[in-house]
Structure 1
Amino acid sequence: MTPSHDRALPRAVRQAMPMARDVLVEVAKRHGVCIRPLALRRLDVVTGKAEIIDVPCGSTLDSKCPPCAKRNRQLRMAQCREGWHLDTEPAITPDEPNEEQRWLVEFRADMQAKRDAAAQAGDDTTDLDAVLAGLDEEINAAGMRGNVLGRGTAKRSRSTRRRQDAPDLPKRKMAHTTLGRTFHGTGGQVYRPSLFVTLTLPSYGKVRNGVPIDPDAYDYRRAARDALHFSKLVDRFVQNLRRVAGYDVQYFASVEPQKRLAPHLHMAIRGTLPRAEIKQIAAATYHQVWWPQADEVRFDGDHLPVWDEQAGYLDPATGEVLPTWDEALDALDEDAEPLHVLRFGEQVDVQGVLAGTPDADQCIRYLSKYLTKSLGDALDGGQAQREHAARMVDALRYEPCSPTCPNWLRYGVQPKNAKAGMAPGRCRSKAHKPEHLGYAGRRVLVSRKWSNKTLAEHRQDRRTWVLEALGQADQPTDPHRYIWRPVPAGDANVPPLAVRLLRTVAERQRWRAHLRELEARASGQDLSATEPTGRAA
């Protein structure tokens, strides 16, 4: 149809026609092509050739890029499947240090000696401290974990005595293994069962279809604080789980929203424990938030602290300097109560799972079911649930989400690393964004020895499989051969997005045609009988 003929059509008919650009995006999605590719310039230091390469955006959310989100979900499913029922102990050995790493540590030792000598002589060590801080960053960037000096500054400690309202837990002697128990059947078969556990938060008020029956009686403050600190509660559960189990329990977990918008946890656990013990561990797990008080509002509206370059934030009425974060923590005496205490709810679901069974596959799909959606995407209950979410976001607005949160000014405390321009209710943390509903932690929680591979290694396994299927060996390349640089916006050498998507779709069609040809040859089929006509499969 020519453009002139298109303009001759009635307006109603033309408005009903799809936009060509939208059709292209849908075709790209069908072929698994990233619809928001990042243009990078790759320079080959050997040949001097520079070319622009489209790199997938890597988004994990359907709302941004469905193909990338789908690939991430499939990658997580493969990671979960490979690690859940391992029958050999994972061996994680650190790489040998290279020359650059050795030189950095030696140089830091020399600078540390100079800093110590200057401190003993009473000289100013500010410049040397800055050099040492920069060296620590270089050490991490060079592929080393942790800090040369260990844990750094000492952490504040609170009493480790268990709360009187929390039940005690048994503690077994730890065994140096990550594998659970095995059971032998009558026919000589060996079974290695594992667990699938679901943990929820307690009730904040009666709900129906995910919406509070009485919004005024619903405890939104407690719900907000539970969501903000939920990841810490999960950490405590894992610690207690390992103490009771007596071995280094490995897990793969995902955090998802319930209809009532509270986060809950699905966890695949390698090995098995009695269901009664899992429920006992959940009941005995709690997390105490030892923060300054955030219940009494001191500054609000037009009466807000003012910034002073020398002293920090001041009370606008009296000129008094607000206590810093560290000073506010120091003011908590031995009789102080925690700001908040988190616990799991009574609903704890525990299922036994065997490797290779339909139940295991179903659990893996369930673990990854909502990974492509944000927590806020659970709003499917209509206007009532949207109003419930709005009330939850409003409760989160002034809740401090971290020591650096500007909301601390509302309660008379200077945030950690305070700077000019801070104001309560204007924290940029994702915990306060409607799509996160208070939970700012990772959606997927994986223990270090789960599958004996990093996520990057799982991704490389997938790449290797595709290249082998296409008959192309994945040749190792020198990691220093290529230099990658982002391409500035508006670069004339970058084709329009539509052109880049068309090229990638065509490339993906060639790959799939080649794969079909190889599969047909392997099975001895007539390719002409199986090849679809007119379009790619």
Structure 2
Amino acid sequence: MAELPRAVRQAMPLARDVAVEVAKQYGVCIRPVPLKRLDIDTGRWEVVDVPCGATLDAKCPSCAKRNRQLRMAQCREGWHLDQEPAITPDDPTDEQRWLVEFRADLQARRDQADALGEDTADWDAAIEGVDAEINQAGMRGNVFGRTVSKRTRSTRRRQDAPNLPKRRMSPTTLGRTFTSSDGKVYRPSLFVTLTLPSYGKVRDGVPVDPETYDYARAARDALHFSKLVDRFVQNLRRVAGYDVQYFATVEPQKRLAPHLHMAIRGTLPRAEVKQIAAATYHQVWWPPADKVVFDGDHLPVWKDGTGYLDPTTGEVLSTWEQALDQLDADEDAEPLHVLRFGDQMDVKGVLAGTPDADQCIRYLSKYLTKSLGESLNAGNQAQREHAARMVEALHYEPCSPRCPNWLRYGVQPKDAKPGMAPGRCRSKAHKPDHLGYAGRRVLLSRKWSNKTLAEHKQDRRTWVLEALGQPNEPADPHRYIWKPVPAGDANVSPLAVRLLRSVAERQRWRTHMARLQAQADGQDPSVTEAVAA
């Protein structure tokens, strides 16, 4: 066979790329993680491909789609519940019991040493370490009290914020029901969209005048948006008078500001919801961050045992706690930033099982597979420049008490350590793909669907196994030992081969499902299998 011309060969697609595209078509993970699994019963080692579990299309469309479908099911199951979710805490494990008993023994020894006038520093350190393990052992709350006192500020409402009614709380998570004239009972819920205020006139998502557009305020609003949402939920529950449950997603507007879509179980008058949004605000009580103290080559230097020093005077910079103490002592101090929602909002009543409900669920999950910062590499030149200016506004803005950017304003970050420098914060809030919003994309109340995401995933797996006629026995967690596969392991096949194996397995599943569907519909299975193939 004659060799093809080089130009023709270069125009041909790579075999690996074709395998990846076929895997996407069949819903197969394109970035499987190979893990070695030892079956203790048989003593056999095998390499198993585990889906990467990515939530963004840019990383793995198949896993992102599955995650989106899982979230849609979670939203649907909890939105219009007509019975109170029964949440029963799990019994404590042996490890949890042992940790609490060990903590009690350490406390007794520490108290005994204190009574004898001995140094208790080592005991305190040991107790602190055990407390950390207890917090990581899957127990809620802190039965041992706070080790550090919590700072409190006046809870008096701002004079420029309207007051809200407060109703007596009822021990329920279900909304009101309404009975029509024909005796039919309805249990409506709400779909609410909340946005941030305007920072300047925009057209097609781009500022008309970038020079006057308030990028600084837009950056701070994005950084603290999750706190504003928390305040809204608190106010919503106070006014509603019951334990309101919600499923919400955070998405970027075209102007790159985050906004919120929220499915709320139960209903309130639209006027009240709009009143709650107008009266909701969040104050950021942080040290001043408007005056640059250190910049360029003139940056604080680290000294072991002391902290960060002024490179010129050698003076130790104020610690985070000291800076807050100064703020507390100043009676005329103002919050660093105050967040509020914008005037544009939408409140819609929704009934279970209606096309409107399905449309709202699809809209809630529409952008979950997209990155917040996709405008950085998409759209026209004006949109990319707008995104770049937003990233620049976030560059030196402190995102948390531990942010290295505090050094720029003469304050040591909380838990300061060597190597910090302004503009080098590793938090995802400062990454271009997040545009300042570092919170979760899906916000879910605890009593929404009475199931965790893992339980929803198990329901989906159970349905598929039953449809395929496979046994659905719970796996013994102690039967297998999992280990990572070292790079270059000869037992791991090339990626294209592994993808094709998964595609073949998915083809078998589809054929079997098509046969079952044909039998249910009374059709000829051979015809349906040919169509599925």
User: With structure 2 as the length reference, what TM-score do the two structures score?
Assistant: 0.97
The answer to whether the 8 Å contact 2:250/2:259 transfers is yes
Task: Describe how 1:219-238 pairs up with structure 2 within 5 A.
Answer: 219-238=214-233
Summarize the Cα distance change of 1:513–1:172 in structure 2 as closer, same or farther, 3 Å threshold. Answer: same
Aligned to 2:259: 264
After superposing the two structures, state which structure 1 stretch, 124-133 or 407-416, moved more: 124-133
2:16 to 3, 17, 21: 21
After superposing the two structures, state which structure 1 stretch, 488-497 or 352-361, moved more: 488-497
1:336 to 333, 336, 344: 333
* Alignment RMSD: 1.4
- Extract unaligned runs of 5+ from structure 1: none
Aligned to 2:142: 147
Q: CA deviation at 1:406?
A: 0.3
- Extract unaligned runs of 5+ from structure 2: none
Superimposed CA distance per residue, residues 381-414 of structure 1 (whole angstroms, 9 cap, x where no aligned partner): 4100110111110010000000110000000000
1:404 to 397, 402, 406: 402
Amino acid at match of 1:239: Q
The answer to whether the 8 Å contact 1:206/1:214 transfers is yes
Summarize the Cα distance change of 1:136–1:49 in structure 2 as closer, same or farther, 3 Å threshold. Answer: farther
Q: CA deviation at 1:502?
A: 1.3
Q: CA deviation at 1:132?
A: 2.4
Q: State how far apart, in whole Å, the 2-side matches of 1:268 and 1:140 are.
A: 31
Q: State how far apart, in whole Å, the 1-side matches of 2:139 and 2:44 are.
A: 32
Query: What SS is found at the alignment partner of 1:271?
Result: coil
Aligned to 2:445: 447
After superposing the two structures, state which structure 1 stretch, 62-71 or 502-511, moved more: 502-511
Query: What SS is found at the alignment partner of 1:256?
Result: strand
The answer to whether the 8 Å contact 2:36/2:485 transfers is yes
The answer to whether the 8 Å contact 2:515/2:528 transfers is no
Aligned to 1:124: 119
Amino acid at match of 1:521: Q
Q: CA deviation at 1:131?
A: 2.8
Q: State how far apart, in whole Å, the 1-side matches of 2:63 and 2:418 are.
A: 39
Amino acid at match of 1:261: L
Q: CA deviation at 1:348?
A: 1.4
Task: Describe how 1:100-179 pairs up with structure 2 within 5 A.
Answer: 100-179=95-174
Summarize the Cα distance change of 1:122–1:44 in structure 2 as closer, same or farther, 3 Å threshold. Answer: farther
Q: State how far apart, in whole Å, the 2-side matches of 1:174 and 1:189 are.
A: 27
Query: What SS is found at the alignment partner of 1:40?
Result: strand
2:503 to 502, 505, 530: 505
Q: CA deviation at 1:151?
A: 4.5
Say whether residues 1:80 and 2:79 are aligned partners. Answer: no
Superimposed CA distance per residue, residues 458-505 of structure 1 (whole angstroms, 9 cap, x where no aligned partner): 011001111011111210233222222222222222222122111111
Amino acid at match of 1:519: Q
After superposing the two structures, state which structure 1 stretch, 445-454 or 501-510, moved more: 501-510
The answer to whether the 8 Å contact 1:257/1:378 transfers is no
The answer to whether the 8 Å contact 2:281/2:338 transfers is yes
After superposing the two structures, state which structure 1 stretch, 161-170 or 92-101, moved more: 92-101
Task: Describe how 1:364-403 pairs up with structure 2 within 5 A.
Answer: 364-378=361-375, 380-403=378-401
Summarize the Cα distance change of 1:28–1:208 in structure 2 as closer, same or farther, 3 Å threshold. Answer: same
1:360 to 357, 377, 392: 357
Superimposed CA distance per residue, residues 419-466 of structure 1 (whole angstroms, 9 cap, x where no aligned partner): 111100010111111111000000000000000101110011001111
Aligned to 1:416: 414
The answer to whether the 8 Å contact 1:311/1:321 transfers is yes
Query: What SS is found at the alignment partner of 1:532?
Result: helix
Q: CA deviation at 1:343?
A: 0.3
Q: State how far apart, in whole Å, the 1-side matches of 2:240 and 2:140 are.
A: 28
Q: CA deviation at 1:152?
A: 4.1
Aligned to 2:493: 495
The answer to whether the 8 Å contact 1:409/1:423 transfers is yes
Amino acid at match of 2:353: G
The answer to whether the 8 Å contact 1:199/1:266 transfers is yes
Q: CA deviation at 1:341?
A: 0.3
Q: CA deviation at 1:39?
A: 1.3
Q: State how far apart, in whole Å, the 2-side matches of 1:472 and 1:131 are.
A: 50
Q: State how far apart, in whole Å, the 2-side matches of 1:152 and 1:312 are.
A: 23
Superimposed CA distance per residue, residues 127-160 of structure 1 (whole angstroms, 9 cap, x where no aligned partner): 3333323323433444323334144422100000
Aligned to 1:279: 274
User: With structure 1 as the length reference, what TM-score do the two structures score?
Assistant: 0.96
Amino acid at match of 1:310: G
Query: What SS is found at the alignment partner of 2:349?
Result: strand
Q: State how far apart, in whole Å, the 1-side matches of 2:110 and 2:35 are.
A: 42
Summarize the Cα distance change of 1:150–1:519 in structure 2 as closer, same or farther, 3 Å threshold. Answer: farther
Q: State how far apart, in whole Å, the 1-side matches of 2:119 and 2:490 are.
A: 51
Task: Describe how 1:87-106 pairs up with structure 2 within 5 A.
Answer: 87-106=82-101
Say whether residues 1:255 and 2:255 are aligned partners. Answer: no
Say whether residues 1:426 and 2:424 are aligned partners. Answer: yes
1:183 to 178, 182, 190: 178
Q: CA deviation at 1:223?
A: 0.3
After superposing the two structures, state which structure 1 stretch, 485-494 or 173-182, moved more: 485-494
Q: CA deviation at 1:67?
A: 0.1
Summarize the Cα distance change of 1:195–1:61 in structure 2 as closer, same or farther, 3 Å threshold. Answer: same
Query: What SS is found at the alignment partner of 1:531?
Result: helix
Percent of aligned pairs with the same residue?
A: 80
Amino acid at match of 2:422: P
Q: State how far apart, in whole Å, the 2-side matches of 1:218 and 1:414 are.
A: 31
Aligned to 2:286: 291
Summarize the Cα distance change of 1:502–1:10 in structure 2 as closer, same or farther, 3 Å threshold. Answer: same
